Amino acid sequence: MKTIYLDNNATTAVRPEVLEKMLPFFCERYGNPSSIHSFGGGVAAEIEEARRHCAEMLGVKFRDRDGLASEIIFTSCGTESDNTAINAALKARPGRNKIVTSIVEHPAILHYCEELERRGVEIVKVPVDGRGRLDMDFLKKSVDERTALVTLMWANNETGTIFPIAEAVRIAHAAGALCHSDAVQAAGKELIDADGIDIDFLSVSGHKLHAPKGVGILFARRTIPLTPFIWGGHQERMRRGGTENVASIIGLGEACRLATIEREAVQKKLAALRDRLERGITEQIPCIRINGDIENRLCNTSSVSFEYIEGESILMLLDMNNICASSGSACTTGSLEPSHVLRAMDIPYTAAHGTIRFSLSAANTEEEIDFTIKCLVPAIERLRQISPYWKGEK
Ligand code: PLP
């Protein structure tokens, strides 16, 4: 039975065009880009081409005197990009010891902030409302002359809710602070104009946009001194040590090139698929809620709460039909507690527990969506029959 993959916010398939671009860089063009000989030097030129495609996707126009998109730094993942940006901001704003972030960030931000808090950095987490929207008054009041960095995700990985990043940049800059956005879920799906909004740092992860795992981007504005997170050789202009992950960087460049060309068409297709899924669920299953900012969210993400049942049981029944999705619980911690995002949104307990995240890609079809709805209807009914909390349709 074919797998129906609706978990693209967890990771995506490498696109065949991306893989094709990568393949020569394993066994044929395996030179080290730092080598003087042309066998390696030719590879360095290909990396620069990839860097240009990444810059274009992010709306970064600056080229240095050698014509390179030098504000783009290749990293190992979104997590490394996030950590590097936070560190760099604290170094670039000496005397300021405060970071303002949100309560719903990914652990790549939150856990590093918690570690920094243990080391004496003041961390302020801005709350969200029931739709996952940022409390802008709280943000404005929190950012002051002690703030080194405002770091906010572009779009939430669980609900798809999009934050007003351009406004956050203005608030940060007005107080002399820097601004970073974890754009891991937004990149390739949303229009990003780093120059237009004058943001200082952006993080991107390859494996969320059909490039391989193990490669990411940090955009860092040239006017800000960037302290490396990983020290080593002179790679990435001394801003990130370690021999480049060449094939993956080439793949990421191609994935960004394709995302730039296809974004608008893909956005339309994904929104239509997502709406078809939500329509089918809403029409055929009682007592559900769609979470997040419905008017302002990622085109591919649907967070649905099926009340009075456990998300994990739903996932198991979907898995029996080869359908992959994910739940809104912090199951990585071994508990079935609702995730920090759902808790921050104050989703009622009975709904938070039965929350499923469907995240689509352009490879999904209407037939897959219809089949998913067809499987969900009896699965939810069956689980509710055995749920001690289910007292029939309300
Ligand atoms: N930020 C967000 C919003 C994410 O969704 C993820 C991954 O799920 C990350 C950061 C971490 O990215 P990576 O897996 O490349 O480290």
Residue nearest to atom 9 of ligand 1 (CA): 78
Considering the chain, tell me which residue range(s) the CATH 3.40.640.10 domain(s) occupy.
Answer: 16-258
Place of tokens 């390179």: 68
Q: Is the CB of 153 under 6 A from ligand 1?
A: yes
Most ligand 1 atoms within 8 A of CB, residue of 106, 154, 156 to mutate:
106
Q: Is the CB of 355 under 6 A from ligand 1?
A: no
Compute the distance between CA of residue 301 and CA of residue 9 in angstroms, rounded to an integer.
Answer: 8
Burial-class residue 179 by CB neighbours within 10 Å (0-12, 13-18, 19+): buried
What is the pLDDT of the chain when averaged over all its residues? 96
For residue range 54-106, list pLDDT tens digits in order: 999 999 999 998 889 999 999 999 999 999 999 999 999 999 999 999 999 99
Q: Which atom of ligand 1 is nearest to the CA of 80?
A: 16
Are residues 85 and 178 in contact, defined by beta-carbon separation less than 8 angstroms? no
Rounded mean pLDDT of 111-123? 98
Residue type, 170: R
What's the CATH architecture for 4-11+263-385? Alpha-Beta Complex (3.90)
Q: How far is the CA of 94 from the centre of ligand 1 (A)?
A: 28
Compute the distance between CA of residue 208 and CA of residue 198 in angstroms, rounded to an integer.
Answer: 24
Tell me, what's the pLDDT at 337? 84
For residue range 277-293, list pLDDT tens digits in order: 999 999 999 999 999 99
DSSP-derived secondary structure letter, 338: B
Compute the distance between CA of residue 199 and CA of residue 204 in angstroms, rounded to an integer.
Answer: 14
CA nearest to 97, candidates 177, 182, 179:
177
Are residues 340 and 104 in contact, defined by beta-carbon separation less than 8 angstroms? yes
Considering the chain, tell me which residue range(s) the CATH 3.90.1150.10 domain(s) occupy.
Answer: 4-11+263-385
Rounded mean pLDDT of 141-157? 98
Compute the distance between CA of residue 234 and CA of residue 217 in angstroms, rounded to an integer.
Answer: 17
16-258 — its CATH code?
A: 3.40.640.10
Does residue 331 have a pLDDT over 70? Answer: no
DSSP-derived secondary structure letter, 333: G
For residue range 2-15, list pLDDT tens digits in order: 999 999 999 999 99
